[in-house]
Amino acid sequence: MEKFIGTWRLESSENFDAYMKAIGVGFVLRKVGNTVKPDVQFLRNEDGTCTMKTISTFKNSEITFELDKEFEETTIDGRKVRSTITLTEGGELVHKQASEPETVIERKLQGDGDNEMVCTIKAGDVVCTRVYRKLNTA
């Protein structure tokens, strides 16, 4: 988890509109969502939990979680879901949102010094890829 700690800025996004449509996001919110380039920040808290913040000019969200423990999440589009975030042996952060359809967000680090985070988002048969670049470590 430590390699994810820091701030990440969205650099590219592919098929995000189709993903938002698959999870039921309306037309107007999809148009706004497609123009926003959020930062994602991962923090390690003193109590051992982690916080993930999504920060943009349009809307912000924040979740605090323990790896491998289910928690209730209100997604940035307002859905209430049961989520679990795990760290695989290969170092990928896998975020499962129990919803209809189920959403699985796989975050994988790559690049020189693990400075690129590739997010593959799957909802049903729709796959979206979003690439973030690391800005700092805290």
Residue 22, phi then psi, degrees to nearest 5: -65, -30
**What pLDDT score does 118 carry?**
98
pLDDT in tens, 29-43: 899 988 999 999 999
What pLDDT was estimated at residue 112? Answer: 82
Q: How far apart are CA 15 and CA 124, in angstroms?
A: 13
pLDDT given at position 137? 63
**Mean pLDDT, range 18-29, rounded to an integer:** 93
The residue extents of the domains of the chain are: 2-133
Nearest CA-CA partner of 5 in 50, 62, 67, 37: 50
Residue 126 Rama label (left phi>0; alpha psi -120 to 50; beta): beta
pLDDT digits (tens, 9 = 90+) for 104-137: 999 999 988 889 999 999 999 999 999 999 997 6
Q: What is the pLDDT of residues 35-91, one digit of tens each?
A: 999 999 999 999 999 999 999 988 899 999 999 999 999 988 888 999 999 999 999
User: Cα–Cα distance between 17 and 66 in angstroms, integer?
Assistant: 30
HSE-CB at 81 with a 13 A cutoff on CA atoms is: 20
Q: How far apart are CA 53 and CA 1, in angstroms?
A: 15
Q: Which CATH architecture has domain 2-133?
A: Beta Barrel (2.40)
pLDDT value at residue 58: 86
pTM for the full predicted model: 0.91
What percentage of the chain reaches a pLDDT higher than 90? Answer: 83
